[in-house]
Structure 1
Amino acid sequence: MRIKSSFWRITIQVIAIIVIATVGYQLIYAHNPFQQLLMVFTRPMAPSILNAPAPELVGINQWLNTDGNQPLALSALRGRVVLVDFWTYSCINCKRDAPYLNAWYERYRDQGLIIIGVHTPEFRFEQKPENVQAAVREYGIQYPVGLDNEYQIWRAYHNQYWPAKYLIDKNGIVVYRTFGEGRYEETEQKIQELLDQQPAEGAQ
């Protein structure tokens, strides 16, 4: 009887440990609103690149949705408004962002907006180009996407979040950023304002 009681006590303890570990993983690593809030309050403040020249797109492993999958350079995009979007395909918040980004690209690209998706993987399996290509098709993404597997662009922008959006004006200056889901109306209004502005002389 003592052996049986001990067996059930150990079994219950093991189950409790598994449940606690699973819940802990979901709270810390899963892409959900609570995790986004947790990141905001626990991560150190990143240096701001606002009102500074946008870092160039160096270190991209592979490009998708460009002419011949050739690389893009921000220096060649002066005179246009650029939205740099950091995402990774298993992030549910990034997936929910996609329809807004697709709509903005469709609505404003003829007016001078270009969106560049920077796919920076959180997990090893997200580094595979074929997985990213499949996600690009699934999400209906038509704008250029660069695979940032070594986090070079991520670090250059001092980024810490998925998703994260950075708006670059026609002069190549980062003028706006937003993290996580939401603020769509505010972001679109900023896009409109930047498209209406004239670039500085020599910026084009």
Structure 2
Amino acid sequence: MRPIRLALATLAIGAALVAAWPGNGSSTALAQDSAAKAPAPDFAGIDHWFNSQPLTIAGLRGKVVLVEFWTHECINCLHVLPHTKALYDKYAKDGLVVVGVHTPEYDEERDPANVKAAIARYGITWPVAMDNGYQTWNAYGNRFWPALYLIDRDGRVVYSHFGEGNYDETEVRVRQLLEKA
């Protein structure tokens, strides 16, 4: 009887871990009360900017900003990319700014030439910051690729999502923030 209970407990733990794995998608809606919203950290320790001059959160005030942590060899990041591109194409004219923060997982992802080639290969036209030292990653307390952080016009993080999925909910949040203008 004991081996069966142990096997069932192991299966239950495994199922819980799979459900919580970032690639399966999870999101967090932060409190709607503006006093409870977290101020967005700035882009710190950026090695290089692509498609833009250096940006700051203060300089983006008044805009709705989607910060996406990604890396060009992450399959989950590549699966999310068409959805990020669709948001950018649909809402940039309405004030949405997308900023990709490329934070490497592997050594070859630290090379600016490799990142530049990936940006061209995937047709990324929005600003991309290279965060080789993980300073922006750490400022956000991030732990996942991909990770999305939605920042309101007052510079506060109001929504986050980790992994793939929740594309409709993310779009609804973008629309809500753009409509509040």
How many residue pairs were aligned?
155
Cross-structure match for 2:49: 63
Closer/same/farther in 2, CA of residues 135 and 56 from structure 1, 3 Å limit: same
Structure 1: tracts of 5 or more residues without a match: 1-33, 41-47, 199-204
The correspondence for 1:175, drawn from 139, 158, 172, is: 158
RMSD value over aligned CA atoms? 2.0
Structure 2: tracts of 5 or more residues without a match: 1-16, 24-29
Cross-structure match for 1:85: 68
**What is the identity percentage for the equivalent residue pairs of Structure 1 and Structure 2?**
50
Q: Which structure has the greater CA radius of gyration?
A: 1
CA contact (8 A) 1:87 1:117 kept: yes
CA distance in 2, matches of 1:115, 1:35: 29
Cross-structure match for 2:55: 72
CA distance in 2, matches of 1:144, 1:126: 17
CA deviation string 1:7-27 (max 9, x = no partner): xxxxxxxxxxxxxxxxxxxxx
Query: In the TM superposition, what is the alpha-carbon distance from 1:140 to its structure 2 partner?
Result: 1.0
Cross-structure match for 1:185: 168
The correspondence for 2:123, drawn from 140, 144, 164, is: 140
Closer/same/farther in 2, CA of residues 110 and 87 from structure 1, 3 Å limit: same
Larger relative contact order (CA 8 Å, sep ≥ 6): 2
Which has a greater percent of strand? Answer: 2
Query: In the TM superposition, what is the alpha-carbon distance from 1:39 to its structure 2 partner?
Result: 5.9
Query: In the TM superposition, what is the alpha-carbon distance from 1:63 to its structure 2 partner?
Result: 0.2
CA contact (8 A) 1:36 1:180 kept: no
CA distance in 2, matches of 1:121, 1:37: 22
